[in-house]
Amino acid sequence: MAKSFTPKVVTANALLEGDAVWLTEANTWTRDIREAELMTDEAHADLRLLEAQARADEIAGAYLADATSGASGPEPTHFRETFRTRGPSNYAHGKQAELS
């Protein structure tokens, strides 16, 4: 039996800054995962990933990451993806400082 599809977001690293970005429904890149497009259909997700990967002069390394629907938008389900929304734990650098 095929593994059931779990909801996904398209994520990548911004080309210049190298930090985590997520793809929105409006085809823009956001630095806040809560604004990302949460996709529940596998074929649609694959298509969106292809579209994202074509945008070579904006991002690098696009992939589909597991996410879940939270109170104010998509939330990561794996700790690695959670860290990408925040930054490192040893200094207040990265998104935890930039977004607050």
Which positions from 5 through 24 interact with other proteins, judged by CB under 8 A?
A: 13, 15-20
Between 27 and 77, whose beta carbon lies closer to other proteins?
A: 77
- Total binding residues for other proteins by CB under 8 A? 25
CA distances in angstroms from 13 to 35, 41, 90, listed in the order given:
16, 23, 21
Q: How far is the CB of 4 from other proteins (least distance, A)?
A: 17
How many angstroms from the chain centroid is the CA of residue 54?
16
Q: How far is the CB of 70 from other proteins (least distance, A)?
A: 17
- Site pattern 48..77 for other proteins (x: CB under 8 A): --------xx--xx---------------x
Inter-residue contact 48 to 39 (CB < 8 Å): yes
